[in-house]
Structure 1
Amino acid sequence: MTELDRSTAADGIAIGLPYFTEPDPALSRSSGGRDPLGLLPVWSAFGRKLVPHVASPVGQVNGIKAVVLIQWLANEQEKLRPLLAGDDAARKFFRLMEGLVEYWLYHNGRPYCFGNNTLAAEQNNFYVTTKTGKTVANGLYQYYRGSSRRAGLVDDNWNVEPEVCKELNRHWTPKATDELLGALTGPLSNAKTALVPDRYLDGTALSKALNRIFDNGTLLHTLQESLFGQEFQRALARDFLALRRSSEMEGLRFEQRVRRLQSEELAHDIDCVLRCEPFLLVMQDVFDFLRGSPGKKLEQLARELEDVFSQMRERAAAFQWLGSELETPRMKQMQMLADILAASAPAANSAAHRACLIAFTCELLDYHKRCMTERGRDPLVVIEGDVIVLPVVGDRDPQDAKKRLVDGFPWMNDYYLNTASNLYAQVFGEPA
């Protein structure tokens, strides 16, 4: 499997902070900030054409079910409404319910979403309060709610879709609500009072209701119809899953599998992805190369990158074509970077190539500075005179960055294809 495949195995359980793939020392980023070049808004825009609803951290259908259940309880259960009247009470309710649901899933052998270390360590003593900051009590709210909304399971005002409400209501009971009320009243009224899920989930009506909600058949048709977008986007998720699992494709890299995807409706959008990611790698790899070269002069760096200039230019030229596909300020800034590289004539001499690389480097770091300024943060690398200076030390081997400039792989981003194929396997019962 590729690096991206390993990070989102179809039967895996997400643990810890879920944005990144599995740690890879050769590709790790510094603690100075995630996505320092602001690549996410661009690649995600193209990814949304292929996978319109689900976000990268969404690894389990049970997380989607949990979100709609929690929202439905808050909206539809009259007995619970007095608990939701205080300041930020709805958010506190969601946090407590996240902890309760994740605990129930974990201790009933069901696929859960977050909190592996905490749940395993604390076992039956696990507890959550309205101020718990761990992902086990915040991950669903942070990472799953947007996917649930985009899929139409809840609307923009967080009202649960009527047909979903009807099905949840069939599996819930008034006694389960009474027990839930007893479990939540104290913790919601006092931040120092802990909810200990184990006290309320041993053979109770609440536990039995959760068992029915998280049964594989509950909401199954709705999830099949809603999670993937239109029929051809659902077919794409299915086909990508097949490519990942095919023994004939086992040795292929991620981008090689993308090239094998066939879709009449999405052929253009697949091509956009194939044009986008290689140039994003150029930006990231040159940036990481600079961060691994403190004290070097721009001319020296240009000489060191000169032998990969043709690959960089080719990828920049392919990216230029995307200018009319996504007309956002960030994309326009990236197009300026691509224009610098693509403007150089293929037959230009070494001096011209080096001048082009210096111009690209200077513009890249100006672009990085603007990205960081937008976030109220300082840049991670700057130019003083004609010398590279690092306010924050880099942690990637510059030769690894240069190697990927030559090879063009592995890709950093999966354009939500792994996520969609994982969920497809779950809701359509594809064998692992």
Structure 2
Amino acid sequence: MTTLEDQLVADFYDYEALLSDDERKLLLKARTFLRDEVKPLVNENWAAGTFPKELIAKFRESGLAGLPYEGYGEHRAATSHLLTGMLAMEMSRTDASVATFFGVHNGLAMYSIHSGGSQEQRDRWLPEMAAMDKIGAFAMTEPLGGSDVAGGMRTTAKRDGDSWILNGTKRWIGNATFADYVVVWARDVDDDNVKGFVVEKNTPGFSPAKIENKIAFRIVENAEITLTDVRVPEANRLQGIDSFRGVAEILRATRGGVAWQALGVMIGAYELALDYAKERRQFGRPIARFQLVQDLLVKSLGDITASWGLLVQLARLQDAGVFKDEHSSLAKAFVTSRMREVVSRAREIFGGNGIVLDYDVARFFADAEAIYSFEGTREMNTLIVGKAITGQSAFV
């Protein structure tokens, strides 16, 4: 049982008690680090649309990277999916942009190499990525290819002796403006299969341009990448992936992580709204004493509690190695939908102050829209689950 002073007010059913003592200590370490080192940097950089590069050194010192990968990182042993999920939740509870920076590096990029690379490739890249001496990115989405990128990928790869030549454009690629290693997915023009390539920083023909004027995830440096005759050695092609099926395996795992992020956003917004309701006075009393405000808070707590329970079971399925596409898709679709409602209620409780960055809730409200859309829209994830339960495909 967690102690009263440690337990999150949103953890109404004490889900954190499911962690081992060592896992709980690591989660609390992350909570303290995020509160003391990350949160003070958030609003200023969110408003400016800048990524605070000093965060990389802070994360490096925290030892949080590399946790899921046995043999790599400070902890050297694989951790449970429940712990890694709660860590993703904890980061988003502080800020969804920072959680995305970390998730792209520690999840999408590192997991692509860990699951799709040879042992030599894992040993070559993962130790320095786990230490955060090198930062990773993951480039799949394209300007004209989002939900249909599996069959409509336009970026091409052409074998040329011991090298590959990549051409095309990628968009919405987090970390790409400063990443050392970018996992680029391209369609082999000879066999029409999707393959993965680790493109190193400053490779000729590789040109990332930061996307400006975003209304969400403003700290994340998303980029549009232009690849013009980018030459990549065969040694940098992920040796274990020769079709989109391998990419789907990666997305299945990371989609669950996005659902945990959505839970963190819900919790962050709910905590702010609860504190504000206790402090804000109208008609001579705290607004927390108003029935309608309590109704908004209780509905939000119910959504949080239900989502958390769903994700706990998803983590158990992952640890058992039996989870499927439809499991992570249901989590992503359900939890992000609940997130949208929770952040809306939280902003409502703040009234006019809810649109001002100073009160933090506006940031959660805006960032929720990005989480709702990426790693598969609600509609696409719904169709994956729908096919699983009916046996009929409604994809067109």
Q: Which of 1 and 2 has higher RCO (CA within 8 Å, sep 6+)? A: 1
Name the structure where strand makes up a greater proportion of residues. Answer: 2
The alignment's TM-score, normalised by the length of structure 1, stands at 0.27
Name the structure where helix makes up a greater proportion of residues. Answer: 1
Q: Which has the larger radius of gyration?
A: 1
The alignment's TM-score, normalised by the length of structure 2, stands at 0.29
